[in-house]
């Protein structure tokens, strides 16, 4: 479906003569879901977006396939993925959790498919289809969507918001307001942290926003020789002070000294904290299914079987081609050395590299590449039973703006659907 060009200019008469039931700032997944639910509950809703189209970040999700949610339907199990903050989500998940989200998409004629790790995607569809579905629902529910909308300030009277003042001096008045401006990650999509500033001005505490689910850089320069490589079924462990701090099995991506992929992203928050304390190391286990002893037997067998072949060729059965020169260099083995000539000491070096390939973390790659922002509006300032601010009586929050971040696998969009739905419903009914 071709998206119609949204209204560019807001007519003064419409704005000045009207008092909406709910004014929402930020048309990302959370704001759009809140707007749709509030209008389904009978509220007259205006949705303000600074970009030209809603859901710019949504378009990038799940490598443009949009990992809508996760197949984990147990509320307690689902919320446990968010650490200690997860408890805050329990009420919203009971009201509109993963099951209800899947039903929502099915009801709106978007079939879904479940993949590895319970990741749920539109079946045969893309993130663009999800964006268009929301756009259709915005139109169907007569929600006033104002795009290219620059907000100058939010005017407050006592513990209430009085109005939103736009850059062109127009004013938007509503009974209730909702902030869903997202976090600070991928700022090019519009998430530039504006909501934090307004919320802070109104007395809310902002937990220091930090990049989370982010790739990282390692110090080892020779990693550049590898180029781009996808690693499957590896185990990566994080160490500090010779103690294992975290460890994950799955897929990682190497792009020179830049490391990403699901297991790196999922450990990045912890790595960020460890880096503040000092030296942080990663160890890649390329053969997690084999113990040191079994791997030694396997190497011995391979070297005996191919005793006339060079080390370079023998290793091609064990490792991706791009890694072989690095392994030989680090273990100081001549690439042409025959299988029968490889010493026990050399075999041990190879075995160690295969099981504990060492890398030193230099830094996380920052907000520009972070999938999500950790930190945000303190949960202590929000009522989990309504998503209403405890400081400003007619203000609600939804989505990434709140201090909540989960792992990869559809967990973060689910927070947007759940909190958006719940906040929209409560704002409409209040």
Ligand X SMILES: Cc1cc2nc3c(=O)[nH]c(=O)nc-3n(C[C@H](O)[C@H](O)[C@H](O)COP(=O)(O)OP(=O)(O)OC[C@H]3O[C@@H](n4cnc5c(N)ncnc54)[C@H](O)[C@@H]3O)c2cc1C
Q: Which is nearer to ligand X, 127 or 353 (CB)?
A: 127
Closest distance between ligand X and the C-beta of residue 243, in Å? 31
Q: How far is the CB of 6 from ligand X (least distance, A)?
A: 12
Closest CA to 413 of 25, 27, 29, 24: 29
Tokens representing 99 are 């099951």
- Least distance in Å: CB of 352 to ligand X? 36
Which two structure tokens, joined as six digits, stand for 203?
């007395």
Nearer to ligand X, 183 or 339 (CB): 183
Q: Minimal distance in Å, beta carbon 196 to ligand X?
A: 10
Are the CB atoms for 420 and 89 separated by under 8 Å?
no
SS3 218: strand
d(CA 155, CA 5) in angstroms, rounded, equals 30
Q: Could you tell me where the DSSP H helices lie in 41-126?
A: 61-64, 75-80, 90-95, 98-107
Residues in the chain: 430
CA–CA separation, 140 and 374 (whole Å): 34
Question: Distance between CA atoms of 46 and 430, rounded to whole angstroms?
Answer: 16
Q: Beta strand pairing status for 206-212 and 281-285?
A: unpaired
Give one word for 186, left, alpha or beta, with left for phi > 0 and alpha for psi -120 to 50.
Answer: left
Which lies closer to ligand X via its Cβ, residue 147 or residue 386?
Answer: 147
For residues 277 and 368, which CB has a smaller minimum distance to ligand X in the complex?
368
Count CB atoms within 10 A of the CB of residue 173.
17
Asked if residue 69 lies in contact with residue 414, where contact means CB atoms within 8 angstroms, the answer is yes
* Min separation Cβ 284 and ligand X, Å: 24
- Distances, alpha carbon 107 to alpha carbons 62, 103, 133, 415, in Å: 22, 6, 11, 20
In the complex, minimum distance from the CB of residue 423 to ligand X, in angstroms, rounded to a whole number: 11
Q: Smallest gap, in angstroms, from Cβ of residue 27 to ligand X?
A: 5
Q: Which residues bind ligand X (CB under 6 A)?
A: 25-31, 48-51, 56-58, 60-62, 66-67, 149, 151, 180-182, 185-186, 190-192, 194, 371-372, 399-401, 410-413, 416
Nearer to ligand X, 142 or 150 (CB): 150
User: Do residues 216 and 361 make contact, with C-beta atoms less than 8 angstroms apart?
Assistant: yes
Of 48 and 267, the one with the shorter C-beta distance to ligand X is: 48
Task: Kindly tell me which of 350 and 401 has the beta carbon lying closer to ligand X.
Answer: 401
Dihedral sign for Cα 96, 98, 103, 104, please: positive
C-beta of 50 vs 347, nearer to ligand X: 50
Smaller CB separation from ligand X, 62 or 272: 62
Q: State in angstroms the smallest separation of the CB of 327 from ligand X.
A: 32
Task: Tell me the closest approach of the beta carbon of residue 179 to ligand X, in angstroms.
Answer: 9
β-pairing verdict for 228-240 and 243-255:
antiparallel
């Amino acid at each position: 479906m071709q998206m119609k060009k949204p209204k560019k200019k807001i007519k003064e008469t419409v704005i000045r003569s009207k008092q909406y039931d709910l004014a929402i700032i930020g048309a990302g997944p959370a704001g759009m879901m809140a707007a749709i639910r509030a209008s389904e509950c009978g509220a007259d809703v205006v949705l303000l977006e600074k970009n030209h189209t809603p859901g710019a970040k949504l378009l990038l999700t799940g490598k443009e396939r949009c990992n809508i949610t996760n197949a984990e339907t147990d509320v307690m199990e689902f919320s446990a993925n968010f650490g200690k903050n997860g408890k805050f989500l329990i009420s919203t998940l009971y009201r509109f959790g993963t099951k209800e989200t899947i039903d929502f998409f099915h009801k709106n004629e978007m079939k879904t498919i479940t993949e590895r790790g319970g990741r749920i995607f539109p079946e045969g569809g893309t993130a663009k289809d999800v964006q268009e579905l929301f756009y259709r629902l915005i139109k169907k529910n007569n929600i006033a969507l104002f795009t290219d909308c620059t907000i100058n300030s939010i005017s407050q009277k006592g513990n209430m918001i009085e109005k939103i003042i736009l850059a062109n001096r127009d004013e938007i008045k509503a009974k209730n307001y909702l902030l869903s401006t997202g976090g600070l990650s991928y700022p090019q999509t519009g998430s530039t942290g504006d909501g934090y500033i307004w919320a802070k001005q109104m007395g809310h505490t902002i937990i220091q926003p930090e990049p989370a689910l982010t790739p990282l850089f390692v110090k080892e320069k020779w990693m550049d020789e590898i180029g781009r490589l996808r690693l499957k079924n590896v185990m990566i462990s994080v160490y500090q002070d010779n103690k294992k701090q975290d460890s994950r099995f799955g897929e990682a991506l190497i792009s020179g000294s830049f490391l990403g992929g699901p297991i790196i992203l999922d450990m990045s928050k912890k790595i960020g904290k460890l880096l503040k304390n000092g030296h942080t190391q990663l160890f890649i286990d390329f053969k997690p299914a084999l113990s040191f002893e079994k791997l030694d037997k396997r190497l011995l067998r391979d070297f005996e079987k191919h005793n006339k072949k060079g080390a370079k060729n023998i290793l091609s059965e064990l490792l991706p081609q791009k890694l072989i020169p690095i392994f030989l260099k680090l273990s100081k083995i001549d690439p042409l050395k025959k299988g029968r000539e490889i010493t026990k000491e050399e075999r041990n070096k190879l075995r160690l590299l295969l099981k504990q390939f060492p890398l030193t973390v230099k830094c996380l790659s920052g907000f520009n590449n972070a999938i999500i922002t950790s930190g945000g509006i303190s949960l202590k300032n929000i009522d989990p039973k309504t998503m209403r601010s405890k400081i400003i009586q007619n203000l609600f929050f939804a989505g990434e703006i709140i201090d909540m971040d989960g792992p990869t696998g559809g967990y973060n969009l689910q927070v947007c659907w759940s909190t958006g739905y719940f906040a929209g419903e409560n704002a409409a009914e209040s």
